[in-house]
Amino acid sequence: MATLTATAQKPAPPGILTHRAVRKLLVLAVAAAVLGPVAATQWPGAAWPGALTVDVSEPLGRASDWIIDNRDSHPLFLYFFGHVSNVVVLAVRAVYLALLAVGWAGVTAVGALVAWRVAGVRLALGTAAAFLACGLLGMWVPTMQTLALMVVAVLASVVVGALLGLAAGLSDRMDRALRPVLDTMQVLPAFAYLLPVVLVFGIGVPAAVLATVVYAAPPMARLTSLGLRGADKEVLEAVESLGTTARQRLLTARIPLARKELLLGVNQTIMMALSMAVIASVIGAGGLGDRVYQALASVDVGAALAAGIPIVLLAVVLDRVTGAAGERLGGPGAAGKSPLTWLYVLLAAAAVAVAGRLGDFLDWPDGWELNIAEPVNRAVDWMTAHLYSDVPVVGGTADWAAHFTSWVLNPLRDGLQWLPWWSVLLVVATLAWLIGTWRTALTAVLAMAAIGVLGVWDPSLDTLSQVLAAVAVTLVVGFATGIAAARSDRFERLLRPVLDVFQTMPQFVYLIPVVALFGVGRAPAAAAAVVYALPAVVRITAQGLRQVDPAALESARSLGATSAQQLRQVQLPLARRSLLLAVNQGVVLVLAVVIIGGLVGGGALGYQVVFGLAQGDLATGLVAGAAIVCLGLMLDRVTQPTERRTQKKGA
Amino acid sequence: MSATAHDTGAADDAVNGTVAERPPVFSVSGLWKVFGPRAERVPADPELAALSPAELRSRTGCTAAVADVSFDVRKGEVFVVMGLSGSGKSTLVRCLTRLIEPTAGSIAIDGEDVRAMDRTRLRSLRRHRAAMVFQHFGLLPHRTVLDNVAYGLEVQGLGRAERRERAAGIVAKVGLEGLEQRRPGQLSGGQRQRVGLARALAVDPEVLLFDEPFSALDPLIRRDMQEEVVRLHREEGRTMVFITHDLQEALKLGDRIALMRDGRVVQLGTPEEIVGSPADDYVREFVRDVPREQVLTVGTAMRPASSPDEAATGPAIRPGATVSEAIEAVARAGSPARVMDDGRCVGVVDADALLEVVAGVPGGGRAAGPAPGPQGAATGERPEPAGSRPEPAGPRPAADEEPV
């Protein structure tokens, strides 16, 4: 150490050693120099040493067997999980039957009227059109199944999330306890949630609903807490100065002041729930997701699209309507005169439903169905024949996928797997420590090591290689698009609706077009991940660049900086935090879809989860799920700048 | 400081009988608010208590926002606390109703110990006796103007119809008729602060506390609002504690002003005392640009009549008239003016003396002229000849018309 510092000091100015990054690197270099040879001699070879793994599949398998054996007899199941499961099943069934009883005309009318009341005429028309389109595509019943599951899951998520958020918003201790948990849950891929609930509830609707609730409640909790904490301090002080009790403060000021965040929370919960309800088809959710899943399993793109379109429509409608409701409430003129009009709405809806019953408009008429599966499949066949390969000059889509696999994914995977395991840990530690604190570095390294201990080192590196490749593509394309959108108003106007739609679509849906274009395999999974993560990256980049202090930009312009200089010397440095956030988001989103890519031949961890579920081999699936959690944790910590924490404190 | 500031009452007693005889509404003594680790040791330890802010910070990590402050706010007066940002004035006013819990010292409202109050009593104090107006209004954005104004009454548990009726009356009083159904977001800054003011007035409090209420407003609106406060005070004679960083505002509204710096009261006195005899260089620097002739009264330039003849001729002015008014009178008449109190000539002002006051030349004020001694000037307690000072009862522009 002493010699190292001495030699480093001579050529460099004395300040460089005091620079934090340099000091961190030095410490790590020393650690590497000491530990590397030890590890290399002790456990030779690049793969994670077998001596350091713990075989958890056997106890997990035993646990799973025990649960299966005792599901009908153990008191824990009889008196708790059993009831939970029954309540969920009953609730979903009740909603489903109610939806069917109201009939397609009734549901469409109710949806449109509600949308009209909360969001205006245009969205009402859009809602009606969306419902009718679902019917037209022959997907009325699956749509209602998904909707019923959604209604129950969203209600439960909102209640659970709001209660947790209330606790975290009012109690600092609760907040300190909950925040890291919620933060972490936010970055985990949806797939990781499936197995634990299956372990307890078995495959079926209860598991699907509970997985959805676990996935969708955190945003509600976070936003509730945020809203309660973010209320204007002076308003609260003014309210206190008038002698309010704590209860009065909560009911008349804190909750109403947080209503924007609360509605945003409901909106996000609905979107997350839809996303998860579709994915949960893997564990028996039924409905639209199941149709897509079945169709994808047999590479029937047409059928997948017919079920995918209603998902997208549902997502867009739900997002726009709840979003518009939030804006209306926050904006001026949000009058409370509505009880009477709501009554009219209810009456009108009831009238339509009754008319539907009498006029026999309950089931969607068969003659009105539009079979798009066949033409789509024909188109796909044509594409397969003409665009897949050997297109002159540009090559074919399948060729691209093959090239991407053999030139990028394979070398990356082999490279990662060739690296000695301890050097991978070291790289993780370096990245996490440079960008964060020693705590984040420690978390990241422990998470990575846990993957090794679980014995899924190689598949995890395979997944990691797909993530890295997809993130690289996402960032290059995303930053370029984001910069362009920030610099040109017209481009941004064109881009905005596209981003809006893309950001509302559930992850699952992205698999459909890539399968049509690229077939199955690792490249399509990566492509789906890129498409899924792009909108967020583009948006964060563009926003970050646009939010750069106009005064700084103006002063640069007044000094005669060219636009390239402005971008390089002012905008990008000042938007650094946004760019880092974009990287973080990109990584998290890409991971989520790469894992789901296991369904379309992405292999690795995602496949192990699917395999575990399909074969009833929960131990394999659970280990893979745990590895996914660790991978997500590691990737998040490695890309999570510390500013996030200090910023929160300062605010 | 505590002793000196505390004695101010005696000074006022000597000057006139109207306000000073009234019992204090708020009586604050030795008040401390220290932020930081183990804050309570700072006021307790005389050595720490005497440290400058920087030293205190480096030695203990604490900041004393309010340090050993004492004063009385008497019934019916406008008591202004003024200082630059960070001087502790906003913390001070929040300590009065324990929105911020004081570290040490005592606060009494009508003789009742505020620091000893339990939750219920404190709530009742906030509900009925002291209402506050905030710098950024602190309105509830989801409620209409009317419901915002009625909020304090709602908190007290009043029925909807009754509180709305009372609120409507107050809304009219502050000039917001026709805007009852608007939301705060649809109002201008001045209108919003009128809502804030109405909300405070609606509970009919004994004391109104203002925390820099107008500093977020445009200058013209600010003047309107200041006049609104003057008007309200003239009509109702409510006790007010007014926090501001604006010296002009302090001089315009304040019957007495406490000037704060680094948590301590540097000088406490009438506007005239602050401008006429600054306690130290800091205050002097502060009031340097104040047009003295508009604040100081003729008392500062008055001399006894040199002859019965002089006492019988010349324009007559009130004892409370400002120097600038006297200048006008002297300039019009071309001769010295007589200061008349109840038909009796109490003195004479001539052009030279007035000019000296305007110029700020030492010795300019003759018999009553300020000859600052540090101790006396610091508190404004130095007795001055009776009748030489304005009556500190009403808001200053209306000082002589109405003792309130």
- Confidence band for B367, pLDDT divided at 50, 70 and 90: very low
In B, minimum Cα distance to A260 occurs at B142
- Confidence band for B18, pLDDT divided at 50, 70 and 90: low
Instruction: Please tell me the predicted confidence (pLDDT) of residue B259.
Output: 92
Q: Are B92 and B260 in contact (CB under 8 A)?
A: yes
Which has the closest alpha carbon to A602: A472, A478, A514, A537?
A: A514
Instruction: Please tell me the predicted confidence (pLDDT) of residue A163.
Output: 92
Burial class (CB in 10 A: 0-12, 13-18, 19+), B219: exposed
Q: Which residue has the higher pLDDT, A601 or A215?
A: A215
| Residues contacting A612, CB < 8 A, separation 6+ | A195, A618, A619, A620, A621, A622, A624
Q: Are A398 and A516 in contact (CB under 8 A)?
A: no
Mean pLDDT of chain B: 80
Instruction: Please tell me the predicted confidence (pLDDT) of residue B107.
Output: 92
Q: pLDDT (tens digit, 9 = 90+) per residue, A33-53?
A: 777 777 777 766 666 776 667
Q: Does the pLDDT at position A559 exceed 90?
A: no
Range with lowest mean pLDDT among A351-355, B56-60, B176-180, B277-281: A351-355
Instruction: Please tell me the predicted confidence (pLDDT) of residue B257.
Output: 92
- Confidence band for A1, pLDDT divided at 50, 70 and 90: very low
| In A27-142, beta strands by DSSP E | none
Q: pLDDT (tens digit, 9 = 90+) per residue, A616-633?
A: 777 777 888 888 888 888
Q: Would the CB atoms of A235 and B138 count as touching at under 8 Å?
A: yes
Helices and strands in chain A, H and E counts: 34, 0
In A, minimum Cα distance to B93 occurs at A241
Mean pLDDT of chain A: 78
Instruction: Please tell me the predicted confidence (pLDDT) of residue A18.
Output: 58
Mean pLDDT score, A115-143: 83
- Confidence band for B395, pLDDT divided at 50, 70 and 90: very low
CA A485-A487-A488 angle, 5° bins: 70
Q: Return the structure tokens found at A88.
A: 């969920």
Q: Are A429 and A448 in contact (CB under 8 A)?
A: no
A242 contact residues in B (CB cutoff 8 A): 126-127, 131, 151-152, 155, 199, 203
Of B128, B141, B155, the CB nearest to A244: B155
Q: Does the pLDDT at position A395 exceed 80?
A: no
Instruction: Please tell me the predicted confidence (pLDDT) of residue B31.
Output: 92
Instruction: Please tell me the predicted confidence (pLDDT) of residue B258.
Output: 93
Q: How many Å apart are CA A359 and CA A357, to the nearest integer?
A: 6
Q: Which of B142, B146, B154 best tests the A interface by mutation, with the highest count of A CBs <10 A?
A: B142
Q: Would the CB atoms of A248 and B134 count as touching at under 8 Å?
A: no
Instruction: Please tell me the predicted confidence (pLDDT) of residue A576.
Output: 82
Q: How many residue pairs from chains A and B have C-beta atoms closer than 8 A?
A: 73
Instruction: Please tell me the predicted confidence (pLDDT) of residue A630.
Output: 84
Q: Does the pLDDT at position B396 exceed 50?
A: no
Q: pLDDT (tens digit, 9 = 90+) per residue, A329-348?
A: 655 444 445 566 777 777 87
Range with lowest mean pLDDT among A327-336, B286-295, B326-335, B367-376: B367-376
- Confidence band for B29, pLDDT divided at 50, 70 and 90: very high
Q: How many Å apart are CA B400 and CA B69, to the nearest integer?
A: 31
Instruction: Please tell me the predicted confidence (pLDDT) of residue A51.
Output: 66
In the block, tokens 């030349």 appear at B361
A328 contact residues in B (CB cutoff 8 A): none
Interface of A with B (CB under 8 A): 232, 234-235, 237-245, 248, 252-253, 256-257, 259, 332, 334
Instruction: Please tell me the predicted confidence (pLDDT) of residue A226.
Output: 86
ipTM, 2 decimals? 0.74
Q: Does the pLDDT at position B393 exceed 50?
A: no
Instruction: Please tell me the predicted confidence (pLDDT) of residue A88.
Output: 84
Q: Would the CB atoms of B128 and A243 count as touching at under 8 Å?
A: yes
Q: Return the structure tokens found at B263.
A: 């948590």
Of B132, B154, B183, the CB nearest to A332: B183
Q: Would the CB atoms of A242 and B186 count as touching at under 8 Å?
A: no
- How far does chain A reach from its first CA to its final CA, in angstroms? 40
B185 contact residues in A (CB cutoff 8 A): 332
Q: Return the structure tokens found at B73.
A: 């706010």
Q: Are A284 and A203 in contact (CB under 8 A)?
A: yes
Q: Would the CB atoms of B127 and A242 count as touching at under 8 Å?
A: yes
A256 contact residues in B (CB cutoff 8 A): 140, 142-143
What length is written for chain B? Answer: 404
Q: Does the pLDDT at position A247 exceed 60?
A: yes
Buried b (16+ CB within 10 A) or exposed e, B60-88: bebbbbbbbbbbbbbbbbbbbbbbeebbb
A260 contact residues in B (CB cutoff 8 A): none
Q: Return the structure tokens found at B4.
A: 């000196």
Instruction: Please tell me the predicted confidence (pLDDT) of residue A332.
Output: 47
Which has the closest alpha carbon to A479: A632, A581, A400?
A: A581
Q: pLDDT (tens digit, 9 = 90+) per residue, A302-322?
A: 788 888 888 888 888 888 888
Q: Are B377 and B383 in contact (CB under 8 A)?
A: no
Q: Would the CB atoms of B155 and A238 count as touching at under 8 Å?
A: no
Q: Does the pLDDT at position A645 exceed 60?
A: no
Q: Does the pLDDT at position A393 exceed 50?
A: yes
Q: Would the CB atoms of B99 and A237 count as touching at under 8 Å?
A: yes
Q: Would the CB atoms of A235 and B140 count as touching at under 8 Å?
A: yes
CA distance A260 to chain B (A): 11
Residues B200, B201, B207, B211, Cα dihedral to 10°:
40
**B24-35 vs B104-109, strand pairing mode:** antiparallel
Q: Does the pLDDT at position B332 exceed 80?
A: yes
Of B126, B140, B185, the CB nearest to A256: B140
Q: pLDDT (tens digit, 9 = 90+) per residue, B198-213?
A: 999 998 898 999 998 8
Q: Does the pLDDT at position B56 exceed 60?
A: yes
Mean pLDDT score, B263-276: 89
Q: Would the CB atoms of B140 and A248 count as touching at under 8 Å?
A: no
Instruction: Please tell me the predicted confidence (pLDDT) of residue B379.
Output: 40
Instruction: Please tell me the predicted confidence (pLDDT) of residue A288.
Output: 83
Q: Which of A242, A244, A250, A252 best tests the B interface by mutation, with the highest count of B CBs <10 A?
A: A242
- Confidence band for B102, pLDDT divided at 50, 70 and 90: very high
- Confidence band for B324, pLDDT divided at 50, 70 and 90: confident
Mean pLDDT score, B364-371: 41
Q: Does the pLDDT at position A70 exceed 90?
A: no
Q: Enumerate the β-bridge partners of residue B26.
A: B73, B109
| Residues contacting A185, CB < 8 A, separation 6+ | A214, A215, A218
Q: Would the CB atoms of B151 and A332 count as touching at under 8 Å?
A: no
In A, minimum Cα distance to B209 occurs at A241
Instruction: Please tell me the predicted confidence (pLDDT) of residue B81.
Output: 93
Q: Return the structure tokens found at A315.
A: 């997502």
In the block, tokens 């936010």 appear at A186
Q: Which of A240, A241, A255, A261 best tests the B interface by mutation, with the highest count of B CBs <10 A?
A: A241
Q: Would the CB atoms of B138 and A248 count as touching at under 8 Å?
A: no
Of A235, A248, A256, the CB nearest to B155: A248
Q: Does the pLDDT at position B233 exceed 50?
A: yes
- Confidence band for A389, pLDDT divided at 50, 70 and 90: low
Q: What percent of chain A is modeled with pLDDT above 90?
A: 1
DSSP string, B114-130: STT--HHHHHHIIIIIE
Q: Return the structure tokens found at A188.
A: 């985990």
Residues B328, B331, B332, B337, Cα dihedral to 10°:
80
- Confidence band for B279, pLDDT divided at 50, 70 and 90: confident
Residues A373, A375, A378, A383, Cα dihedral to 10°:
-100
Interface of B with A (CB under 8 A): 94, 97, 99, 122-128, 131-132, 134-143, 151-152, 154-156, 183, 185-186, 196, 199, 203, 209
| In A513-583, beta strands by DSSP E | none
Q: pLDDT (tens digit, 9 = 90+) per residue, A250-302?
A: 888 888 888 888 888 888 888 888 888 888 887 877 778 888 888 877 777 77
Mean pLDDT score, A348-366: 71
Range with lowest mean pLDDT among A548-557, A607-616, B316-325, B363-372: B363-372
Mean pLDDT score, B25-41: 89
Q: Which residue has the higher pLDDT, A517 or B6?
A: A517
Task: Kindly report the pTM of this predicted structure.
Answer: 0.76
Q: Which residue has the higher pLDDT, A23 or B271?
A: B271
Q: Does the pLDDT at position A222 exceed 50?
A: yes
Q: pLDDT (tens digit, 9 = 90+) per residue, B135-167?
A: 888 888 888 899 999 998 998 888 889 999 999
